[in-house]
Amino acid sequence: MTLVVADRARLASARQSLTGRMAVVMTMGALHPGHAALLQQARAEADHVIATIFVNPLQFGPSEDLDRYPRTLDADLDICRAAGVDAVFTPTVDVIYPVTPSVRIDPGPTGGILDGASRPGHFAGMLTVVHKLLRLTAADVAYFGEKDYQQLTLIRQMVRDLDMGTEIVGVPTVREPDGLALSSRNRFLSPAERERALALSRALHACPGGTAEEILAAAGNELKGVDLDYLALTDPLLGPVVPGPARLLVAARVGTTRLIDNAPVEVH
C-alpha cells in the first residue's frame, strides 16, 4: 500500500513505522519513465522507498518556469504505486519553508560553472531542499538521475563535505528510442522543436571516444541549429578534462524550453 502524506507529522509517523534500509527518490512531479527507473532501482535495493514530490521555488530564478512547471499529481501517484513505493511526501511550500530560509547551502566552486553560471542561485536552492528532504525522510540512501549530472555531483560533494552519511546512487539517463533524454519539460516542445531537440543527444553521441578536440568538434557540428548555452568536456567530477573517462555536457534553448543533457565519453 502506498501512503500519501503532506505534512511533517504524518511523514515522521510513516517513517517511524518503516524499519530497515530506507531509500528516498526526490522529484518535482510530472513523473515519466526516467523517474520510474529511479523508483524501481530504489525498490529493488532498499527495504522501503519514500518518493517526494515538491516543486522547489528556491531553485527557480525570477525569469524561470516555476509557474508553468507541469503538475500531474494523480498520474504521479499511479506511477509511485506501480513502482511499489511505500510513502509519497507531497508537501506544500509552507510545509517545507514555514519561513523563507536565511541559511542556504553554498554549492562552492562546482556550483558556479555550467548551469550554475546560467542559473544564479539554482544550486544553492537545490542543495538546500535536498538537505532538508534527506533530514525529513531520514533516508539511508538517495537515488538521483545522471540526467542532472551537475546536480548529482554537487549532492555527492555536499554529503561528503557536510558528513551527512547518506549513500548517493546515480542512475543512468533514460532516453526515448530516438535518443532524446526524458524530461518533464519535453511536453513544452512542439513537434518541430522536438525534432530540433534531438541535436543534443546526437551531439553527445557523435564521437564517444577521441581527442578532446575531436569530441568537441563532432558535438559542435550537431548543435548548429540550436540556441546553445554551453557545450563542455570535463573530467567525471566536472574538473578540467584529462585523458581517460570524461563527461560531455550540453545545455540549449529550443523555443522557450531550456534543455540539458550529458553523456560519458573517453578522451584519448
Of positions 43, 124, 145, 265, contacts ligand AMP by CB under 6 A: 145
| Residue 205 marked as a ligand binder | no
Cα distance between residue 144 and residue 113, in whole Å: 20
Task: Tell me which residues in 15-44 interact with ligand AMP (CB under 6 A).
Answer: 27-28, 34-35, 37-38
User: Which residue's CB is nearer to ligand AMP, number 129 or number 216?
Assistant: 129
| Nearer to ligand AMP among residue 75 and residue 242 (C-beta) | 75
Query: Which member of 43, 122, 131, 147 binds ligand AMP (CB under 6 A)?
Result: 147
14 vs 155, beta carbon nearer ligand AMP: 155
**Per rule CB under 6 A, is residue 144 in the interface with ligand AMP?**
yes
Q: Which residue number, 153 or 216, has a Cβ lying nearer to ligand AMP?
A: 153
Output the smallest distance, CB 30 to ligand AMP, in A. Answer: 7
Taking CB under 6 A as the rule, which mask of x and - marks residues 190-229 in contact with ligand AMP? ----------------------------------------
State the nearest-atom distance from the C-beta of 139 to ligand AMP, in Å: 13
Q: Look up residue 90 and give its DSSP letter.
A: -
C-beta of 201 vs 234, nearer to ligand AMP: 201
Catalytic residue at 268?
Answer: no
| Residue range at the interface with ligand AMP (CB under 6 A); choices 71-79, 131-139, 140-148, 252-260 | 140-148
What is the DSSP code (8-state) at residue 177?
A: T
CA distances from 94 to 35, 53, 57, 85, 165 (A): 25, 14, 11, 24, 27
Residues 6+ apart with CB under 8 A from 77: 2, 4, 88
151 marked among binding-site residues: yes
User: To 10 degrees, what angle do helices 122-137 and 8-17 make?
Assistant: 50
Among 41, 137, 173, 262, binds ligand AMP (CB under 6 A): 173
Q: Which of 90, 110, 166, 184 binds ligand AMP (CB under 6 A)?
A: 184
Contact by Cβ (8 Å): 237, 248: no
Q: Is the dihedral of CA 18, 22, 28, 31 positive or negative?
A: negative
91 binds ligand AMP (CB under 6 A): no
Selected range binding ligand AMP among 13-21, 97-105, 166-174, 252-260, rule: CB under 6 A: 166-174
Query: Does 174 belong to an annotated binding site?
Result: yes
* Total interface residues for ligand AMP by CB under 6 A: 17
**E runs forming strands in 21-174:** 22-27, 48-53, 87-89, 141-145, 167-171
CB atoms within 10 A of CB 217: 13
Segment 152-159 long-range contacts (CB within 8 Å, at least 24 positions apart): 153/110, 153/237, 153/238, 154/107, 154/110, 154/111, 154/123, 154/126, 154/127, 155/127, 155/130, 157/107, 157/108, 157/110, 158/105, 158/107, 158/127, 158/130, 158/131
Instruction: Give the residue numbers marked as catalytic.
Output: 35
- Please state the residue numbers annotated as binding site: 28-35, 59, 145-148, 151, 174, 182-185
